[in-house]
Structure 1
Amino acid sequence: MAAKGPNNLMRSRIVMLTLAFVAIGFGLVAVRLLYMQVFRNDFYVQQATTLQTRDTLVTPNRGTIYDANMQVLAESASVARITVNPKAVIDESKVNKGIPAEQQQQELAQILADTLELDYDTVLGKIKRTDTQYQIIAQKVDKDTENALYEKLEAAGCGNAVYSEPDTKRYYKYGAFLSTVLGYVNDDNVGVYGLESEYESELAGTAGRIVRAQNAKNQDMPYDYQQYIPATDGNSLVLTIDSDIQNILEKHLETALADNPNARDGVSGIVMDVKTGAVLAMANLPDFDPNQPRVISDERYLNELKETVQKLLEEAGVSAEIPDKYYQEGGLDNLPESVQNNEALVDALTDARTEELYKMWYNPVVTDTYEPGSTFKLMNVATAYELGVVHAEDTFYCGGSMMVGDWKEPIKCHNTNGHGSQTLTQAVMNSCNVAMMQIVAKTGRERFYDFFKAFGMNSRTGIDLPNESPGIFFDVEDSTSWNEVSLAVSSFGQRFQVTPIQMASMISAIVDDGRLKKPYLVREVLNADGSIKSTAETEVVRQVISEDTSAYMRDTMLQVVESGTGKNAYVPGYRVGGKTATSEILKEAEDVEDRYTASFIGVAPMDDPQIVVLVAISDLPESSPHGGGALAAPVVGRIMEDVLPYIGVTPVYTDEENDRRELTVPGVVGSTQEQAASTLQQAGFAYRVVGSGDTVTDQVPASGVRIPASGKVILYMGEDKPAEQIEVPDLTGLTPDECRDTLEQYGLYLKQKGVASSQITGNTTASRQSPAKGTKVNIGAVVTVEFSDTTGVDDR
């Protein structure tokens, strides 16, 4: 019997089911397409674009930073960023020829690691990230290295997945010069610290883009499929910093640091234009090289880090030798394997090293606060004088100490024997604490704090640098904090803290007719095309004291240097004024003796103030020399001596300074003794004769040489002067007269620096000389000797 086929009803049902399935299928597809193309259109377009294109950022050229004379301090240069598309590394045609995919990855990793000096395993790990099309292999690659890389890749036939993107690298032309002011940029060209951070929005510019289409093999399509959006370069900065003045400041701070190796927090200094608030120089030592900001090279920081690391190893119970490379450069790879495996210890070591880096990067002139000590007495006196509660003719008695309020112990003056009766000016010259407490008591707490605020000492100055501190003062709302005793110690700058930039601004206001100005570092902002975008102008914040008070303070500050505790800042021919300070600082837990900051603030010339110079030598132990008058004042004097003639201030010598004046020696060879004597006398020189000929056959010094007016010219009559060179003697510790006599015996001349002749005592001795002892020089050479004095320079 034949099998029955489907009847018509079954056929109809099959057709209906088929049509239903088809309708449902197309419906689902339609719904999915609607969902993808309407509701999730942006998402899928982005996904498709990601697969079909490669988007590269074009780094803009960061703006240049110039000094006041348009010398380049920081600039950017074109370099390359090397990237890899891991999905395009494996060439299937090579796989078909028997070269495994893994071997291709390893070969490329080896070439990249060797040429770019990278870790092979790290590079290989990035190449194996086939879940992405973009891996950065190296940044800031110079052109020579980039070209060498592509030559090797071409020779090996494995460069299809390697790309070179335009990038920029920041170069700091003079290394560590001005580093704590400039700051640095990180690997992403973003400013960190300093002006680089403060002016990031001006310097950075706007990144551009290169969008390239790619084919199915992840290879770039022809240029017709490329879109280029150019980068906009950043604006440039013109600073108020004068590189020549900055060099002077850094040179003398280096000497100060070398002379005071126990200064735990190093040395800081600032030179500022009194009349405008423009910062001409600012430096802190030790410093760092912004070209290698994470490298620690200074022995001070390295030794601190080594001590901390050893403690951490002992606490962790780990015995390991940490190589110097880790201390200098950091990095997990530079640690012994036994340490690398201890995650907690690695974190602690990293934190310790980071703390030292922060010390390098910070700018203490604006970020760190300190107890100003006796330099603050100038504000105390200016306030009282302005209020009329004290006058120039008033007298103050100091018996060596004074009882204040309910304080159980007498508050001492640095001169515990007392200064006796003294005028207001003499009290400042003597840096008398007792007189300052008597003066501030006349002012009172409320008015003293009013002027403290008016001078800007409780707020940031607004200088264009990041991380500025506002200072730390007593809680004036709390009578247990702000009372009679705290007012007394405030009168001589103790138990509160301010920043060096606040002090420099305050002193500038005191000597510049009472006008407080906002300090600044950037004079102009330039557009990318070099045109001027903006120019800084002097900003007078407020009038704090009168011109009359300012005039009195200028004269008083002059007396401090000419006859008081600041005698070591004296510069012949210039009217330098200032104030010394030796301020106590809080001891750290491990300290066994008291610590101090030695500082000096100088202003010159006092008849028309142009510059203020502050130098602080920070965190000195009591067992070391630590007086501001002995340590910091000479440094300011050296800076003044170099800067004042540079900015065009002509020295004017008084009659008392004739021994410091330098004169040009006239030529008298061929003259008779009588003729030579007359010529030398007219030029202002004495002379002595060697030999008995009729005419002068030679002379020392030679014609045209400048020597001190007190020097004698040697006339050789019929004899030749000695041809052999002379070894400079050691003059350290000798008095000025002893130095002059010693050098005369050698046929050398003394150029005397430091301490006015009228202030020389038995304790005035040579502290440094140039040329150094043992140096070979010709007869008639001038030896410069700096003298310092320890009498009457105490200022605590």
Structure 2
Amino acid sequence: MLSKKFKIKALTGVFLSLALLFIYKEIYTLLFAVFLFYFFILYGITRDSEKYKYSNFTRRSKTLSRICLFFMLILIIRLFQVQVVDHKEYENMLIKQVEATYSIIGNRGKILDYRGKPLAYNSNIYTIAIDPTRVHGFEAAMDALEDIDKNHIKIGYKELKKNLASLAESKKYYKIIAKDVEEDKKEEIEALIKEKYKLKHNEIFFQKKSNREYYKKEIFSYLVGLTGYTQKSEDSKTGIFGVERGYDEYLRSRKITKKDIFTRSRFMKLPTASDELEISANGKNVYLTVDYFLQYILNEEVKKQYDNTKSEMGLGLVMDPNTGRLLASSIFTRSHQKNLKNQIIQSQYEPGSTFKPLIVAAAMEEGLISQNDTFDVGDGKIVRHRHTIRESSRHTKGILSTEEVLKKSSNVGMVLISDRFNNATFEKYLEDFGLGHKTNVDLPGELKPYMQHYSKWDGLKKNNMAFGQGIALTPIQLATAFSSVINGGILYQPYVVDRVAGDDGVVVRRNTPKVVRRVVSPKVSESMRTMLEHVVFDGTGKNAAIDGYRIGGKTGTAQISSPGGYLNGEYLASFIGFFPANNPQYLMLFMFLKPQADIYYNKFGGAVAAPVFKEVAKRIIKYNNILPGDVEYLGDFEMKVPEYISSEPMVEMPDLLGKGAREVLKMLGELGIEVEISGTGLVESQWPEKGTSLEKINKVKIHLK
């Protein structure tokens, strides 16, 4: 019989051999089993010598306990395998049973005006669908459908009930029962399903669809743009025009795919589900520089004149000349392509006389002319390179000063000014005014100005461009260049978006005024403001004048080019103006293409476009409560003395009641008396009273109403 020591040594040897083998093979379950059985057998060997000391009952009990222990060891080994060795595999099996993947699709960002009024936003509509295999035979679901049909929206319950059995038998898991359900109705039905009928297994479910809505689309569509489907966008809409396209990378929503642990019904998260940082799938909101109220005013006045003159196209824009911010823009056209084209940046026109101030400013900056220089325009025509250039008015003759060239809008005078440039210098200033390149306004589709290099010019090119022919610009390019003439000489890059922010208000992008370059000196700019103010005071732009306010501007009446020449009797009537003239805060440009009128001169810019400037400016003044406190006598005006002013010094206060502010300033200006004006309109009251001696009066107060 083998001794106890031999058995233990043999057992230990076998255990070590198997342990080394299983470690080498990385079979850790069997290694654990061998370890347990080694001690189990070792315990049995050490207790064998005592078996004869106990009774038969005790020996049987010990044998049974060893058998039970053996099976417990088997169970422990299995648990070790599941919990330790193969735990990853079983964990993945569990996750597959309870984990669900779902997607969150956000809304496209809103487009708002500067004050936060939504101009483009989203409205959600829903499709209601059922799972026929779950609804059929489920009384609560059928009752819910009947309730929906009777009390909420018509879904054709009776017909649906007839077909439900066949749909369920054919394993149809999806059946639409209603489309285009609005948000409030969806919430009613959802509450009914969950709270009253306790449906939790997607028997009835909703699918969201987001619609893009536009406020006052007829007013803002050219600027805000629209969305649509493209090849790249696949099944989701993307911006295809205007700000919608230019800022699409910020506006577009995101699709976030998430995983979480749910109950078997997929209806409720398990309490063990991990919470994650909430990330918004919504697009960012874009705030424009546009003011809705200014836009409304501009739109109404442009539309009125567009209709009155039966023009082919009418447009207007309002800009801050000191920053390049576009405050409002309005377009009306009879073109069928109007919804796919923004004429402010995508149509080019020969600007005509509104271009003349740029050339005058350039000549003054270069030192070629001064404000007091004179030009002999003769009988109103001049020949250059065998081509006769005429004045638009037969009354424009004789010797004109630089200021009068602008006031009378003299074409011949501009030719004489352009003669003082060489071609290279002339082109340099056009480039400086930004007319050789796009303005880079933050809207897609801007056209580059039509201008050839001076090496390709014929002999007449420079002369023609001096009065606005032979060069084609977009309205935004003309307004941007003109701003640099009157704002102190700085060219700014125009922009229409103020900032981009998330739903939480955090700004992710902010556009600020961007200086491109200095074009003319502050001194030249000041002289240009003065001369352009005189154009409105008693020149071609007098229809833009507003009593009590300082207005500057320039009219334009450009011929319309066509194959083989220019259209006979058809014009682009325009006016570009600014106020207050001494410190411009608003610049406005108006253009009307082919206005119709019985009288020839009523097609010109002074008759068509200048009055629109006046009406818009008056409404802006009222809207912003701008008082005429900055009115002062313009001593450098060459004014004719009215009949009611004596050549002798005035010694008594005249009767001013019923007169306009400008008339009052003319009457009192020469006396060196300060005039304080309040209100708008005509004089309602005055101080001192009529007949009072003015010998010791230094200040006169009047109130307009």
Of residues 174, 178, 183 in structure 1, which corresponds to 2:225? Answer: 183
Deviation by residue 1:403-445 (Cα, 9 ceiling, x = unmatched): 112x4x4122212464211111101111111111111121122
Q: Go from structure 1 to structure 2 and tell me whether the alpha carbon gap of 1:683 and 1:160 turns closer, same or farther (over 3 Å shift).
A: farther
Residue 633, structure 1, aligned to residue 617, structure 2: no
Residue 280, structure 1, aligned to residue 327, structure 2: yes
| Mapping for residues 108-507 of structure 1, pairs under 5 Å | 141-144=181-184, 146=186, 163-186=205-228, 188-209=236-257, 222-223=267-268, 231-261=280-310, 263-265=311-313, 267-285=314-332, 300=334, 356=336, 358-398=337-377, 399-405=379-385, 407=386, 409-416=387-394, 418-478=396-456, 482-507=457-482
Residue 709, structure 1, aligned to residue 669, structure 2: no
Q: Go from structure 1 to structure 2 and tell me whether the alpha carbon gap of 1:593 and 1:683 turns closer, same or farther (over 3 Å shift).
A: closer
C-alpha displacement at 1:213, in angstroms?
12
- The answer (yes or no) to whether the contact 2:548–2:680 under 8 Å persists in 1 is no
C-alpha displacement at 1:66, in angstroms?
2.8
State the distance in 1 between where 2:213 and 2:286 align.
15
C-alpha displacement at 1:656, in angstroms?
10
State the distance in 1 between where 2:437 and 2:428 align.
13
C-alpha displacement at 1:375, in angstroms?
0.4
Paired residue for 2:514? Answer: 539
Aligned partner of residue 430 in structure 2, secondary structure: helix
State the distance in 2 between where 1:441 and 1:139 align.
71
| Mapping for residues 507-526 of structure 1, pairs under 5 Å | 507-526=482-501
| Mapping for residues 705-784 of structure 1, pairs under 5 Å | 708-709=682-683
State the distance in 1 between where 2:492 and 2:155 align.
54
Q: Go from structure 1 to structure 2 and tell me whether the alpha carbon gap of 1:92 and 1:235 turns closer, same or farther (over 3 Å shift).
A: closer
Of residues 550, 556, 562 in structure 2, which corresponds to 1:581? Answer: 556
State the distance in 2 between where 1:611 and 1:72 align.
24
Paired residue for 1:771? Answer: none
Q: Go from structure 1 to structure 2 and tell me whether the alpha carbon gap of 1:212 and 1:476 turns closer, same or farther (over 3 Å shift).
A: farther
C-alpha displacement at 1:648, in angstroms?
5.7
TM-score between the two structures when normalised by the length of structure 2: 0.64
State the distance in 2 between where 1:361 and 1:136 align.
35
**Counterpart code for 1:635:** V
C-alpha displacement at 1:276, in angstroms?
1.2
State the distance in 1 between where 2:209 and 2:299 align.
33
- The answer (yes or no) to whether the contact 1:115–1:145 under 8 Å persists in 2 is no
Of residues 544, 562, 571 in structure 2, which corresponds to 1:569? Answer: 544
Q: Go from structure 1 to structure 2 and tell me whether the alpha carbon gap of 1:68 and 1:437 turns closer, same or farther (over 3 Å shift).
A: same
Paired residue for 2:148? Answer: none
**Counterpart code for 2:281:** T
Paired residue for 2:526? Answer: 551
Of residues 62, 72, 85 in structure 1, which corresponds to 2:118? Answer: 72
**Counterpart code for 1:74:** A
Of residues 607, 630, 641 in structure 1, which corresponds to 2:582? Answer: 607
Determine what percentage of the aligned residue pairs are the same residue. 27
C-alpha displacement at 1:473, in angstroms?
1.6
Q: Go from structure 1 to structure 2 and tell me whether the alpha carbon gap of 1:548 and 1:163 turns closer, same or farther (over 3 Å shift).
A: same
Deviation by residue 1:119-173 (Cα, 9 ceiling, x = unmatched): xxxxxxxx9xx99988999986412454798899x99x9x978742234333334
Paired residue for 1:619? Answer: 594
Deviation by residue 1:496-519 (Cα, 9 ceiling, x = unmatched): 210111111111100111100011
Q: Go from structure 1 to structure 2 and tell me whether the alpha carbon gap of 1:278 and 1:93 turns closer, same or farther (over 3 Å shift).
A: closer
**Counterpart code for 2:127:** I
State the distance in 2 between where 1:518 and 1:132 align.
60
Aligned partner of residue 403 in structure 1, secondary structure: strand
C-alpha displacement at 1:365, in angstroms?
1.0
C-alpha displacement at 1:588, in angstroms?
8.2
State the distance in 2 between where 1:647 and 1:235 align.
30
C-alpha displacement at 1:627, in angstroms?
0.7
Deviation by residue 1:685-707 (Cα, 9 ceiling, x = unmatched): 58xxxxxxxxxxxxxxxxxx997
- The answer (yes or no) to whether the contact 1:268–1:616 under 8 Å persists in 2 is yes
Aligned partner of residue 582 in structure 1, secondary structure: strand
State the distance in 2 between where 1:137 and 1:80 align.
14
Paired residue for 1:63? Answer: 109
Structural RMSD (CA): 4.7
Unaligned runs of 5+ in 1: 1-51, 95-112, 117-126, 287-299, 302-355, 658-680, 687-704, 713-750, 753-781, 783-796
State the distance in 2 between where 1:212 and 1:389 align.
77
Unaligned runs of 5+ in 2: 1-97, 138-152, 157-166, 230-235, 636-652, 659-678, 687-702
Deviation by residue 1:66-103 (Cα, 9 ceiling, x = unmatched): 322233333334x2442769xx6689979xxxxxxxxx
**Counterpart code for 1:142:** E
C-alpha displacement at 1:258, in angstroms?
2.1
State the distance in 1 between where 2:463 and 2:104 align.
61
Aligned partner of residue 525 in structure 2, secondary structure: helix
State the distance in 2 between where 1:54 and 1:133 align.
19
**Counterpart code for 1:381:** V
TM-score between the two structures when normalised by the length of structure 1: 0.57
Deviation by residue 1:202-259 (Cα, 9 ceiling, x = unmatched): 1223223478999xxxx98555699999652222222222222222211211221221
- The answer (yes or no) to whether the contact 1:509–1:544 under 8 Å persists in 2 is yes
State the distance in 1 between where 2:214 and 2:480 align.
29
C-alpha displacement at 1:640, in angstroms?
1.6
C-alpha displacement at 1:57, in angstroms?
4.9
Task: Work out which of the two has the higher radius of gyration on C-alpha atoms and give 1 or 2.
Answer: 2
C-alpha displacement at 1:199, in angstroms?
1.2
- The answer (yes or no) to whether the contact 2:261–2:269 under 8 Å persists in 1 is no
- The answer (yes or no) to whether the contact 2:316–2:589 under 8 Å persists in 1 is yes
State the distance in 2 between where 1:135 and 1:584 align.
64
Aligned partner of residue 443 in structure 1, secondary structure: coil
Q: Go from structure 1 to structure 2 and tell me whether the alpha carbon gap of 1:224 and 1:616 turns closer, same or farther (over 3 Å shift).
A: same
592-601 or 429-438, larger mean C-alpha shift: 592-601
State the distance in 1 between where 2:107 and 2:432 align.
43
Aligned partner of residue 442 in structure 1, secondary structure: coil
**Counterpart code for 1:402:** I
State the distance in 1 between where 2:172 and 2:400 align.
81
Aligned partner of residue 620 in structure 1, secondary structure: coil
